[in-house]
Every structure is written in C-alpha cells, then in structure tokens.
Amino acid sequence: MINQVYRLVSPRQFEITYKDKSIIANDVVVRPTHLSICAADQRYYTGSRGKEAMKKKLPMALIHEGVGEVVFDPAKELPIGTKVVMVPNTPTEADPYIAENYLRTSKFRSSGYDGFMQDYVFMNRNRLVELPEELNMDVAAFTELVTIAVHAISRFEHKAHQKRDTFGVWGDGNLGYIACLILKKLYPDSKVIIFGKTDYKLSHFSFVDDAVKIDEIPETLTIDHAIECAGGKGSQYAIDQIIDHINPEGTVCLLGVSEYPVEVNTRMVLEKGLTVLGSSRSGATDFQRTVDIYKAYPEVVDYLGTLVGNVHHVAKLGEITEAFESDLSSSWGKTVMRWKI
Ligand SMILES: NC(=O)C1=CN([C@@H]2O[C@H](COP(=O)(O)OP(=O)(O)OC[C@H]3O[C@@H](n4cnc5c(N)ncnc54)[C@H](OP(=O)(O)O)[C@@H]3O)[C@@H](O)[C@H]2O)C=CC1
Ligand SMILES: O=C(CO)[C@H](O)[C@H](O)COP(=O)(O)O
Ligand SMILES: [Zn+2]
C-alpha cells in the first residue's frame, strides 16, 4: 500500500512523501487519531535545534506523542478499532543493564526517524499499549509526555534515599505540571512544591501543597529532592536554585532539554553530596505503568485535562502549519491535533 508521510523539509515547511509499505510484514498498522506537539518538535519546526542537527535529521516526520486505532493486525491479536498509545522509541537490541531509551542503537521517532505524522504507522506490537475504551483521547494524545515523568520518578525510586518528605519541582509548564501530579499521586503524604515564574500558570497547580515564585523563595525553604522541568536557558537558573535549597544527599532529577551546555555549581554538588540524575525519553514499560496509573487513579486523567490547550482539526497540510504556529503563541497547555488527514 502507499502510505503518505508528512515531513518537515526545512524550518516551517512540510511536504508530503509517498512510501510503499507492505502489510504482509508482522507489524501492526495503526491509524493515528490524536497527536500532540512536544517542545522538541518545535525546536525542529522553528529551526532552533541547531544547523548540524537540522541538516542531519531532516527531512523527517515530526511528532512522537500520539494515540491511534488499530486498522490491521496480521496476527489478529488486536481487534480492529483497538485504541492504543504508540511508543516512539524503537530498540534494536536488548541490554541487561541499560534501558531501551538509553541504548545508542535505539531509534527515536521524530528525532532522526519519521514520527507519527503519517496516514498509517507500522509498528511492532511491543511498541503499542492498549488504552481503556472510555479514555479522553485529547488527553491520551500526550501520554508520552506523562511517561517522561513516570520514567524519571521510577529511576528516582531506585536511586534516591528514602527520606521523601518534600519534593520541589522547577518549571511551571506542561512537564512540571505532570511531574507534580504524578508525585502527588504516588507520594500522597509528601509535600510537593512547584517553583515557577508566572502567577497565571501557577494557578493551574491546584493539587500541590505550595506554589512559589522563583524570585520569592524564602531563604529557609528546604526540599529533600528536586525535579527540574524548566529547560532551555531556564535550566541553569533552576539548577542553581535547586542546589541552594536542597538538603544534603538529595537527588536532583534533570529533565529540561537545553540546546547549549549550562553551568553547574559543582562545588556545592560535592559539598552536599548530591545525586544528579538525568533522564531522557522513556520505554514501553513506562507506557504500561502510565496507563496503569490512568486506570488506578482516573482523577489523574481529569487533572491532565487542564493541560489540553488548543485542539486542531487537521485535514490538510496547511492545517499542520496552523497547529504548530498556534502552539508557538500559546502560553499554557498542550496543542492537540485531531488527525483527519
Ligand atoms: N527529558 C525528556 O525526555 C524530556 C524533556 N522535555 C523538556 O522539558 C522541558 C519542559 O517542557 P514543557 O513543560 O513541555 O515546556 P514548557 O515551556 O511548557 O515549560 C517550561 C516552563 O518552565 C518555566 N521556566 C523557565 N525557567 C524557569 C526557572 N528558572 N524556574 C522555574 N520555571 C522556569 C517556563 O516559563 P517561561 O515560559 O515563562 O519561560 C515554562 O513555564 C523542555 O526543555 C522540553 O524539551 C520534554 C519532554 C521530554
Ligand atoms: O521530547 C523528548 C522526548 O519526549 C526528548 O526531549 C526528545 O526526544 C529529544 O530529542 P532531540 O534530541 O531530537 O531534541
Ligand atoms: Zn517529547
């Protein structure tokens, strides 16, 4: 069959490519229904990802956050119409010590390999996690971003000491919101504090124990562990504040992506004996754990609904551009594309 793939060819310019795909292979064929735009997609779309990466990775279909419906399963295990979340990471080997998303051989969709902006996506069945039938699909669209927080917290659980009375999360955007929400569900007795820049954004974090503006942090405020979700230039400032306010032997989870290296006060990292734990992307087990969380705590899905920002009906190429442009000018939440193309 001929599959249409919607690729970014240069900043702000998408083109359609036609790819011949065999449906006799073992792959399950999924029709994407709801896609969501990540900050990483925007760095490619706007060209801010850096010349070298742009040259190396384009042309490429963007989007690694998405859900869809099964249209064909050669093994007939998944009924047609089954709702699934698609795992963008594709490992090519297994390792007993290194998780699939850290293997240098793994392929990650929309970072060098075609993402989900296609008519049909062909996937190994171990890259699909079944979703509850009644799930809000606008929310489900950005499940991958939820898995990022779940993955980082899973790593934290294995590596951090057991005193977990107070968590600090830096970054009053999408990932910060999700990290606070998952922490509050998994550690209901712990205090979760969000540190951000903007009152209007902080007002959305209704479930946290405290919301603090980063220029008004009391000197005496301390936390046991921290998650940094600021990214970009904000990362450096956030890491500095985390190091100032974290208790000795705490764990600092770094999630924000910066295009340029940031400076870290290593002297205080040493003096306080901190563990700095970087996390990137996620794997199939994180997707399963995330869907299990949705099932165990349906209210999590309701809270995630607060993050649904602009919802776009996308039926033609120009409407993809409209969705990306409106995402750039939106101050809160995720942009979802209902994929009708
Ligand atoms: N590690 C991983 O696998 C993943 C990493 N990411 C990365 O995480 C980062 C956040 O993503 P996302 O939440 O979607 O982006 P958002 O832009 O929605 O959130 C970032 C928020 O942090 C705020 N901020 C900036 N500087 C600081 C600071 N010093 N202290 C506290 N808050 C600050 C920003 O405010 P303002 O806009 O006003 O500057 C913004 O509200 C990005 O870099 C993204 O690429 C995303 C997905 C996966
Ligand atoms: O968003 C992400 C995962 O959800 C990662 O930040 C993204 O994969 C980083 O990739 P790139 O190197 O292409 O920016
Ligand atoms: Zn992403």
Q: What is the ipTM of this complex?
A: 0.99
Look up the CATH number of the domain holding residue 256.
Answer: 3.40.50.720
Same domain flag for 232 and 164: yes
Q: pTM for the full model? A: 0.98
Q: How far is the CA of 266 from the centre of ligand 3 (A)?
A: 28
Q: Which of 278, 303, 318 is the last residue of a domain?
A: 278
Do 140 and 288 fall within a single domain? yes
Question: Which residues make Cβ contacts (< 8 Å) with residue 29, sequence separation at least 6?
Answer: 23, 70, 71, 72, 73, 120, 121, 122
| Shared domain check, 172 and 321 | no
Q: Tell which of 227, 261, 278 closes a domain.
A: 278
242 and 318 both lie in a single domain: no
Same domain, residue pair 243 and 178: yes
What's the gap in Å between 145 CA and the centre of ligand 3? Answer: 6
The CATH number assigned to the domain holding 113 equals 3.90.180.10
Full residue range of the structural domain in which residue 153 is found? 147-278
Domain final position from 278, 305, 331: 278
Structural domain total, the chain: 2
247 with 290, same domain? Answer: no
Return the ligand 2 atom nearest residue 64 CA. 4
Q: Does residue 103 line the site of ligand 2, with CB under 6 A?
A: no
pLDDT of residue 338: 98
Q: Is the same domain home to 96 and 133?
A: yes
> How many angstroms separate the CA atoms of 75 and 94, rounded?
23
Q: Which residues of the chain have pLDDT under 70?
A: none
Q: Is 144 annotated as a binding residue?
A: yes
Is any ligand 2 atom within 6 A of the Cβ of residue 40?
Answer: yes
Same domain, 159 and 230: yes
**pLDDT, tens digit, for every residue of 234-275?**
999 999 999 999 999 999 999 999 999 999 999 999 999 999
The long-range contacts involving 230-233, CB below 8 angstroms and separated by at least 24 positions, are 230/170, 230/171, 230/176, 230/256, 231/39, 231/171, 231/175, 231/255, 231/256, 231/257, 231/258, 232/256, 232/257, 232/258, 232/259, 233/258, 233/262
C-alpha–C-alpha distance, residues 219 and 208, integer Å: 20
Residues 160 and 122 in one domain: no
Are 128 and 153 contained in the same domain? no
| Same domain (yes/no): 155, 245 | yes
253 is in an annotated binding site: no
> Residue 178: CB within 6 Å of ligand 2?
no
**Least distant ligand from the CA of 177:** 1
Q: Same domain, yes or no, for 250 and 327?
A: no
Let me know: does 147 contact 286? Beta carbons within 8 Å: yes
How much is the pLDDT for 25?
80
